[in-house]
Amino acid sequence: MSTDLFDICALAKNRARARRMQEPALFLHELVAEQISERLNEVNRTFTNPAIVSAFPEIWQKYLPDAKIIAEDEVLALQPDCHDLIVHALSLHCSNDPLGQMIQCRRALKPDGLFLAATFGGQSLFELRASLAEAESQLAGGLRPRVAPMAELREIGGLLMRADLALPVADSDSLSVTYQDLTALMRDLRAMGEVNAMTARAKKFTSRRLFARAAEIYQQNFAAADDRINATFEVIYLTGWSPSDTQPKPLRPGSATMKLADALNTVEVPAGKIEL
Domains belonging to the chain, first-starting first, are: 8-125+148-191+233-263 (3.40.50.150)
Lowest mean pLDDT among 79-93, 97-111, 124-138, 236-250: 236-250
| pLDDT higher than 50, residue 226 | yes
Name the phi and psi angles at 157, rounded to 5: -65, -35
What sign for the dihedral angle of Cα 85, 69, 94, 99?
Answer: negative
Residue 275, pLDDT > 60, answer: no
Specify the pLDDT at position 87: 98
pLDDT of residue 23: 84
Return the CA Rg of the chain.
Answer: 23
Burial of 79: CB neighbours in 10 Å, binned 0-12, 13-18, 19+: exposed
| pTM of the shown model | 0.87
Do 18 and 190 meet the contact criterion of CB atoms below 8 Å apart?
A: yes
Report the SS3 class of residue 120.
Answer: strand
**What pLDDT score does 57 carry?**
92
Which residues have C-beta within 8 Å of that of residue 184, sequence separation ≥ 6? none
Looking at every residue in the chain, the average pLDDT score rounds to 90
Close Cβ partners of 245 (under 8 Å, ≥ 6 residues apart): 111
Condensed to tens digits (0 to 9), the pLDDT of residues 6-39 reads: 999 999 999 999 999 988 899 999 999 999 999 9
CB neighbour list of residue 178: distance below 8 Å, 6 or more residues apart: 224, 225, 228, 229, 230, 231
Write the pLDDT tens digit of every residue in 156-205: 999 999 999 999 999 999 999 999 999 999 999 999 999 999 898 877 77
